[in-house]
Chain A
Amino acid sequence: MSRFLDLSTTLDLLGYDFVQHALLAAAVLGLVSGALAPLVVARQMSFAVHGTAELAFTGGAAALLLGWSVGAGALAGAVVAALLLGLLGQRDGERDSVIGVVLSSGLGLGVLLLWLYPGRAANKFSLLVGQIVGVDSTDLALLAGSALVVLVVLAVIYRPLLFSSVDPAVAVARGVPTRFLSPLFAVLVGVATALGVQTVGALLVLALMVTPGAAAVRVTANPALATVLAVVFAEVAAVGGILLSLAPGVPVSAFVTGISFLIYLVCRGIAAARARRPRT
């Protein structure tokens, strides 16, 4: 247990480049995923995020095997996934099964690619559950650049996207191009997911893409405030998760998901307490 609270080891490790890279990556990731999370929740896209993450894993595995940048591979995989899900699952009733099909095939292909990869096993494992040494400085540049693009595009489409998410019938009548916004948002989510794959891993990226948003909308119905809260929650989980994982050397994702889940529970508790209190 003392290993978990070893402050001097943590401070030591903070002096290393790779740790600083990881913290920067986590901060960028928290910002992007927190900004997207409330909309992911409103559009009921949790499963789609999971499916996209698995394809980001496939892309990362392919890049690992071919000796390319894992970050670029994950990005390519996630964008392909977002487009596939957007094209194949246009009808609501079909979407669920299409995601299941794409997700499992992508994961299977990824497993094959990893098996073909002759390198260290730790690199393979990190794609699934995340590892802070996964981020080098070229990845960091790619990550920051992609994050900036996601945030700018999100800012441009935010209002019509919110409109079509909460009130599709009126949004269509008002001339909002919902059919163009859905796949575009899926691609934004795909890019953000790919960023998460390298730090928290493909299996647990939901902890940053969904949980902070789900927690935020429990405590506020104000969309702007929900976005701010989700960003704060995601930052606390991502950066805090890395800091806590340093001394014990436990995979980052264990702490990130743990913190994220704890915040979610607290928010649910607040919501439940409010519901019991009579309205004034």
Chain B
Amino acid sequence: MSTETRDGRPLVRLRSARLAYGPRVLWDGLDLDVAPGEFLAVLGPNGSGKTSLMRVLLGLRPLSSGTVEIGGEAAHRGSRRIGYVPQQRAVDPTLAVRGRDLVGLGWDGHHWGLGLRGRAERRRRVDAALAAVGATRYADRPVGLLSGGEQQRLRVAQALVADPDVLLCDEPLLSLDLAHQRMVSELVARRAREHGTAVLFVTHEINPVLPLVDRVLYLVNGRFRIGPPDEVMTSATLSELYGTPVQVVRVGDRVVVAGAENGGGQHHVEETP
């Protein structure tokens, strides 16, 4: 944890970033700064380049043009400054790994060797990360036998165990029920608040996160808008982004976006490398 990242300078910085697959431009001219402690939701229809943005930040995919920096240095694969929660996928129930092993791999799984020397330190770190997400109770059970919500808590613990400056979450709420969606969102928001972690949170589920986020990056079909939720999540802004009438309706404390998926949402792009 270096001091240079804690002085308010952005932890994530994109300048004139462009990403294109052949002739199809996912986004272009993207300037984005994410400050320490900021919680940014990345929203938009399928194929708008949300997961690709994660891959760019992880250094797994180069930009077509422009620059991307994490904590002042060019994004590169295996950066220790980034914690990553991948798209939620069902774990094979026969996989013989405990929750504590999964979290431990987040700590030192990329190191060579058996890791016998660092055992005490690893155990301390893993126990702390498990406790921070409230997963201690089931940490010794096989991961494949846990519920989706329990697995996702472990994923968050795995991403946070190495104390990253930046947390990237790619659809961490997928296939969770509403209570667990809230729980995971709040877990991440608390981390941003209390540890000054910059969070980029890709999701289709806007309601659990909107009350918690500082800003929204909304990507649609090559266009995008960045701003506080109240500015971006309006009928006028989204209609302009989608290029078709979109209604943003507030029902109680829920936000419903109507008509969006028919506008720009049908252009699927192969997002695998």
Q: Which residues of A contact B (CB under 8 A)?
A: 38, 41-42, 155-160, 162-163, 166-167, 169-176, 216-217, 220-223, 226
Give the chain B neighbours of A38 by CB distance below 8 A.
Answer: 96
Q: Is the CB of B112 within 8 A of A157?
A: yes
Closest to B142 in A: A221
- In the complex, besides A155-B114, A156-B112, 14 extra interface pairs with C-beta distance below 8 angstroms are A38-B96, A41-B96, A42-B95, A158-B114, A159-B110, A160-B112, A166-B97, A167-B158, A170-B86, A170-B106, A171-B110, A173-B77, A221-B140, A222-B101
Give the chain A neighbours of B141 by CB distance below 8 A.
Answer: 221
Closest to B162 in A: A174
Q: Mind listing 30 A-B residue pairs with CB under 8 Å?
A: A38-B96, A42-B95, A42-B96, A155-B113, A155-B114, A157-B112, A159-B109, A159-B112, A160-B110, A160-B112, A162-B105, A163-B109, A167-B109, A167-B158, A169-B86, A170-B86, A170-B105, A170-B158, A170-B159, A171-B105, A173-B60, A173-B77, A173-B86, A174-B106, A175-B110, A217-B96, A220-B96, A221-B101, A221-B142, A222-B98
Q: Which residues of B contact A (CB under 8 A)?
A: 58, 60, 77-79, 82, 84, 86-87, 89, 94-98, 101-102, 105-106, 108-115, 140-143, 158-159
Give the chain B neighbours of A167 by CB distance below 8 A.
Answer: 102, 105, 109, 158
Complex CA distance for A173 and B86, rounded to whole angstroms: 9
Closest to B155 in A: A170
The smallest beta-carbon distance between A153 and chain B, in angstroms, is 11
Q: Is the CB of B98 within 8 A of A169?
A: no
Give the chain A neighbours of B77 by CB distance below 8 A.
Answer: 172-173, 175
The smallest beta-carbon distance between B214 and chain A, in angstroms, is 24
Closest to B96 in A: A217
Complex CA distance for A216 and B77, rounded to whole angstroms: 35
| CB-CB under 8 A for A223 and B87, given A155-B113, A163-B105 | no
The smallest beta-carbon distance between B264 and chain A, in angstroms, is 27
Complex CA distance for A159 and B116, rounded to whole angstroms: 11
Question: Out of A158, A176, A217, which one reaches B113, CB within 8 Å?
Answer: A158
Give the chain A neighbours of B97 by CB distance below 8 A.
Answer: 42, 166, 221, 223
